[in-house]
Amino acid sequence: MNKFFTLSTIIFLLCGKLAFSQDLDEILAGISQDSTATYTLGTFKGTTVINGQSIEVPGAGDLHFIISHRFGAINSGIYDFFGIDQATTRFGFEYGIKNIASLSIGRNGFNKTYDGGIKVRLLRQQTGIKSIPVSLSVFVGSYVNTLKWDDPSRENLFSSRLSYATQLLIARKFSQKLSIQLSPSYIHKNLVPLPEDQNNIFAMGLGGRYKISRKISVNAEYFYLLPGKTADDFMNSLSFGVDMETGGHVFQLQFTNSQQMFAPGFITETSGEWTAGDIYFGFNIYRVFPGKKRARNIY
């Protein structure tokens, strides 16, 4: 845990020295007024690629209300209506600060988990006098499992409920259609089931977006667990999706082998196998409430 807080402190100190505008097509982000640079717009449509974070943050003063839903596995059969009877939901909010950062909070039905996070944009892809080939953001999240204790008679510590995620998000928009992102990720769990299980887990995420029209794109995402006990016990998360934008809404439809929708879950606890039909259909819905200065441009 000390490593987590040390890394977080370094990140926040760095963030205080950087101020770059943010991009998410005119609906989801502000457009910089700096005439000396041409900034890349719309690397990704939403603040997530599929399950994992994207480099995007909401525009200054914008509030995103996000509803995320994952049904059960398709191979559960007709009795569970191919997973529809086994759904889990997350409700969340994200608020944009000065076009360079966001605060988020949410509640997941899976394990009754509450989450909170901060994302900060460190670099933005641009051309001009100062050329920057990639966009760079960092995300730090905390998660609280609020399930009732299995054995309430024993000494149970609140800290045992906590887990954390730190992710470096590195993305490049190669063309008007293609964007790619790398997501080196570190997960820390205060409590694990067995002594031989890992408290500290590292993974590498790879995500991409390809636009097929002005309003529609197809996405893919993969998280590779670095070798260790967790990689031996669980599967790597693999997901495919479609993003659709209409006015102040963004719809993300996806198929994934991960039912959990928060980083310690889908990165380190995915048990589904695509080849066995353990595929979960789901969606994210973004409702954007724009800041006052840009409210007239939302539609």
Q: Which segments of the chain does DSSP mark as H helices, in order?
A: 2-15, 25-28, 229-233, 263-268
Taken as a whole, the chain contains a residue count of 299
The pLDDT score that the predictor gives to residue 35 is 54
The pLDDT score that the predictor gives to residue 12 is 39
Question: Which segments in the chain show pLDDT lower than 50?
Answer: 1-33, 295-299
Alpha carbons 7 and 184: distance in angstroms, whole number:
13
Residue 294: helix, strand or coil by DSSP?
helix
Residue range 136-158, pLDDT digits in tens: 999 999 999 999 988 888 888 99
In sequence order, what are the beta bridge partners of 102?
96, 119
Alpha carbons 53 and 167: distance in angstroms, whole number:
8
Q: How many CA atoms lie within 13 A of 131 on its CB side?
A: 3
* 40 in Cβ contact with 139 (< 8 Å): no
The pLDDT score that the predictor gives to residue 77 is 79
Alpha carbons 100 and 280: distance in angstroms, whole number:
33
Phi, psi (deg, nearest 5) at residue 4: -60, -50
Please give the DSSP secondary-structure letter assigned to residue 24. Answer: S
Strand locations in 35-134 (E): 37-39, 63-73, 88-97, 101-108, 113-123, 126-128
Placement of tokens 């380190």 in the chain: 268
Closest CA to 18 of 73, 90, 98, 88: 98
The pLDDT score that the predictor gives to residue 294 is 52
The pLDDT score that the predictor gives to residue 235 is 96
- Mean pLDDT score across all residues of the chain: 85
The pLDDT score that the predictor gives to residue 152 is 85
Q: Which segments of 140-276 does DSSP mark as H helices, in order?
A: 229-233, 263-268
Closest CA to 268 of 210, 227, 225, 206: 225
Residues with Cβ within 8 Å of residue 79, at least 6 apart in sequence: none
Residue range 202-230, pLDDT digits in tens: 999 999 999 999 899 999 999 999 999 99
3-state secondary structure 231-252: HHHCCCEEEEEEEEEECCEEEE
Domain ranges of the chain: 2-297
What would the CATH number be for the domain defined by 2-297? 2.40.160.40
**Structure-block tokens of residue 41:** 């717009």
**Structure-block tokens of residue 276:** 């066995």
* 262 in Cβ contact with 108 (< 8 Å): yes
In sequence order, what are the beta bridge partners of 46?
none
Closest CA to 103 of 139, 135, 54, 68: 139
